[in-house]
Structure 1
Amino acid sequence: MIVDRREFLRRCICGALGGASLYSALGTLNLVNAAVANTNGGIFPDYKALVCIFLLGGNDSFNTIVPRSAPHYATYATSRGGLAVPQGQLVAIDPLAGGLPGDGASYGLHPSMPHLATLFNDGHAAVVGNVGTLLWPTTQQQYQGNLVPLPPQLFSHDDQANIWQTSRADDANAAGWGGRVADLLHGGNPNQNLSMLISLAGEALFQRGDTVHQYVMNPYGVEPIEYLDMWQNEGGVAAFNAMNQSGAQANVFERGYARAVNSAIANYGVIGDALDAVGGVTTAFPSSNLGRQLQMVARLIKARAQSTINMRRQIFYVQLGGFDTHGSQLTVHPEILGDLSGSLKAFYDATVELGVADNVTAFTASDFGRTVSINGDGTDHGWGGHHFVVGGAVRGKRFYGRMPSLAQNGNPDDAGYGQLIPTTSVDQYSATLARWFGLTETGIDDVFPNLGRFASRDLGFFSP
């Protein structure tokens, strides 16, 4: 079994303290934090945020980004049949000469995505083609001949979503890659009492670190412990506080629980007060759940410089569901793509309003792409798919990676049944984001140990 450097360090320290069970019970050991955090070397002088937008269910990216040029559209339309988006309805995206898709095609976005097309054409968004979970670069011949190791449980929602969020196709027990990045960079934040990981969509594997733990909010704000504010509950509150008083617990698990509760109370008090102090943003957001999540992220970014917050690196997680379109795709898919497009545009505009557009990068992720082939009125679980990266620091108006063939027959990218083999790995995609965020090359190797198997360590969608 291969153990990476951080895991080796954690086990050694936990062993010296009496075993890994102690680590698990305490949740966060300050000694472990001191040993692995702040590998960047000092407090960050600038602010940066990553925002993961997870498209739950597996987005049909081949109806999201569609070839417009006649021969390529004809191939697409033959494969897609009744699900093909009409050619004349596509919203044109026009890449710069240095960022063409490489297959000779011109492309457009689904007609419900004019806002995202505007972001692309204005240079604030990029397309990364055919990204997916891989252990090694894999060709059709290698896949069909079982000549290279493959990610486990291909085409399974839960397993592939987990691998996307951990970027560790070789380790089913890995923490999230966002959490692992936070483990290494949290020491660069002036405020060590608040987590740099915030989820607006419940506890997320992407945000799960070994030593830094995510803080979960909802799109409307912090979630206090209602029991503490119940009318005529003075006795209950007194007992609750006494139970969680520092040093009052005889059992290590009770102490771990008390520490977690007290931290949560302190966090929601500080964050809630900071949000009240800074107020909202003037940019209008869609009233959808995704719109509200991203609006709250914008407010949290606005509050970053409050003396009680004082964060230089933050990672956010939001989620949009409904993408498992086995049926009724022509009805379901346009609506959620429109939500994604409008919400992303509003979020980018809010970062402009706040003066941090160059410091905030949003990116999409999903369980997998969907099949090029159709099942009647929907698509099935695929593998590779296209993704968007949005922000002022992005080298936008460009395609990165390789766009695959969409042919129904004789397709060299087809693993079978229209499931396209990725030509860019999740590791490459994630590592490019983490490098921009401030992770050193040593940190990159620590968080993405399989990255060296692929031709490029950096996909190039940020300026040097």
Structure 2
Amino acid sequence: MHLNRRDFLRKSLAAALGGAGLFSALGNLRVVAAAANQGRYRFGDYKALVCIFLGGGNDSFNSVVPYSSSEYNAYRQSRNGLAGAGGLALQQAAVQAQNLDALALAAGLPGGPPSDGGSYGLHPSLAPLRALFNGGQMAIVANVGTLRQPTTQAQYQAGTVPLPPQLFSHDDQSICWQTARPDDANADGWGGRIADLLYSANSGPAPMSISLSNENRFLRAALVNPYAMDASGVDKMSYLGDGSESWIMGDNPGGAAAYNALIAEGTQTHVLERAYAQAASAAIDNYQIVSAALDAAAPLATPFPDTDLGAQLKMVARLIGVRAALGMSRQVFYLSTGDYDTHDGQIDTHADNLGQLAQALAAFQAATIELAVANQVTAFTASDFGRSLAVNGDGTDHGWGGHHFVIGGAVRGRRFYGRMPSLLQSTQANPLANPDDTGHGQIIPTTSVDQYAATLASWFGVGNSDIADIFPNLHRFDASNLRFMG
């Protein structure tokens, strides 16, 4: 288990307050988490949130594309230049072949056809997601991005509203997305904050938050330590050994016994020693619990693509399949896939990326149906930022707002939510021609990450008062729940 300095100090403080006896025999913080929320949450059902982070910044304007005449012409000119030749624009007929058949607006409910009145389709590589959208299992949330408050072009140009720090920076904007706190660079992740609140609702000792993609800010929490594992399975700590490992202490039973003695509860005198021993014990306990549950489970019948993302989503499906053995009523997962920073060679790279994303998500949705939990599992995309509407040779630059996919049986699917931005090209002579453009080719978000995340948290079971605590800037926006979840 990887233990960073912040987690190490946090655990040290908890140990100092209560000593080793404060923690359960399984070395986790369930007692502290339960005390923090006073056991207010109890659930009689199961739900899971699955975050798929598209590292590098997905070009959503070549993912969800208009094919109706006026909207397509604006898109084509922005993506190909005024001459209309070359560039990145997809062929109109290819987009229309992947048309999205959105439902009409329902009385009293948001979501329906694209807000600009245009007709849209998906990138041809996203054909499996088109089937999910048209089948009512997927929604598109338009122009989502990091915001501290609603921002217009005029306000951006005049500098009269606070903006997220270091806009267009990969590291900074990834953190802002994963924390939904662009006003606090040290904030824990919004997935972690949800876990801190709901963890005690689970009956088992297994970790509620699981990363299939190493350390991340999304799952970082004050109380609940996320568990990182590999897409191929649980990594065994090498010192435990089973005769098949020859490095470190794999074939050293004496060394293993000595290590076990060092981390045994009640044998450490220094607070930092106790904290580290408890973390090591938790890693061992989690390995034993999770691996035993997975080993006892029947294999999935649903085939998954042989890709990294496919393997990650297959492992998530397997973990969901053993939820009862793990004592889980709520789980949060984090996955990631990269290579979305398409400054050049975008046509081929983006097509490949989107194909892998669509195939893996379609397989995962099929697996949730196989496991009879399709209405209880929601997968959603996130990314550093969108790409610029303007092109950069055969690629795009860092942008801001972008469209995102939400998939699952509980999603009010076959609908667009939020406001579609204009795709008009801003020119050197008139850089402000597009009212949704910063003036430099980046589209200003009209839906905040706070709203997107709070809608998911509400479906997950977080109460309204706690939603306000988890997302303290949410009150700045006109809708706290976008209602894309049923």
Calculate the TM-score normalised by the size of structure 1: 0.92
Q: Deviations over 1:305-325 (max 9, x none)?
A: 11xx11000000111101000
- Does structure 2 retain, via aligned residues, the 8 Å contact 1:115–1:345? yes
- Matching residue of 2:291: 272
Q: CA offset at residue 30 of structure 1?
A: 6.3
Runs (4 or more) in structure 1 with deviation over 3 Å come to: 13-18, 27-32
The equivalent of 2:44 in structure 1 is 45
Instruction: Say if 2:106 is the partner of 1:87.
Output: no
Per-residue CA distance 1:43-76 (angstroms, 9 max, x = gap):
3100000000000000000000000101110110
Unaligned stretches of 5+ residues in structure 1: 1-9
Question: Could you tell me how far 1:280 is from its partner in structure 2?
Answer: 2.2
Q: Contact between 1:37 and 1:186, CA under 8 Å: does it hold in 2?
A: no
The equivalent position to 1:145 in structure 2, one of 154, 158, 162, is 158
1:189-210 CA distance string (max 9 Å, x none): 112x221100000011101110
Is 1:416 aligned to 2:439, yes or no?
yes
- Quote the offset at 1:34 in angstroms: 3.5
| Aligned-partner residue type, residue 104 of structure 2 | A
Deviation at 1:445, TM superposition (A): 0.6
What SS does structure 1 have at the residue aligned with 2:388?
coil
Q: What CA deviation, in whole Å up to 9, does each residue of 1:87-134 have, x standing for no partner?
A: 111111110011011101000000111100000000000000000000
Amino acid at match of 2:314: Q
Q: Is the 8 A contact 2:15 2:271 kept in 1?
A: no
Return the letter of the residue paired with 1:109: L
What's the counterpart of residue 33 of structure 1?
33
Amino acid at match of 2:479: S
Conserved? CA contact 2:62–2:123, under 8 Å:
yes
Equivalent in 293, 300, 304 of residue 285 of structure 1: 304
Contact 2:192 2:224 in 1 (8 A): yes
In structure 2, the partner of 1:228 is 240
Instruction: Confirm or deny: 8 A CA contact 1:93 1:108 kept in the other structure.
Output: yes
| Aligned residue type for 2:239 | Y
Question: Could you list the runs of 5+ residues in structure 2 that have no partner in the other structure?
Answer: 1-9, 81-86, 106-111, 427-432
- For 1:400, the aligned partner's letter is Y
Match of 1:379 among 396, 403, 419: 396
User: Aligned equivalents of 2:31 and 2:300: distance in 1?
Assistant: 39
Contact kept in structure 1, 2:33 and 2:197, CA below 8 Å: no
- Three-state SS of the structure 1 residue aligned to 2:124 is coil
**1:66 match:** 65
- Whichever residue aligns with residue 133 of structure 1, its letter is T
Take 1:426 and 1:435, find their aligned partners in 2: how far apart are those partners? 14
The percent identity for this pair of structures is 57
1:160-208 Cα deviation digits (max 9, x unpaired): 00010000011000000000000001111112x2211000000111011
Residue 5 of structure 1: aligned partner: none
How far, CA to CA, are the matches of 1:441 and 1:279 in structure 2? 39
Aligned positions of 1:382-401 closer than 5 A:
382-401=399-418
Q: Tell me whether 1:54 sits opposite 2:53 in the alignment.
A: yes
Question: Matched residues in 1 for 2:253 and 2:414: separation?
Answer: 59
Distance 1:227 1:422, change over 3 A: same
Q: Is the 8 A contact 1:126 1:395 kept in 2?
A: yes
Q: Is the 8 A contact 1:414 1:421 kept in 2?
A: yes
Matched, 1:427 2:450: yes
CA distances 1:254-286 after superposition (whole Å, capped 9, x unpaired): 111110111110111110010011132111111
The residue type equivalent to 2:100 in the other structure is: I
Aligned partner of residue 380 in structure 1, secondary structure:
strand
Q: Which residue of 1 aligns with 2:424?
A: 407
Structure 2 residue identity aligned to 1:100: P
Mapped pair 1:448 → 2:467:
no
Distance 1:186 1:238 in 2: 32
Q: How many residues align?
A: 442
> Alignment partner for residue 327 of structure 1, among 344, 348, 368?
344
RMSD (Å), alpha carbons: 1.9
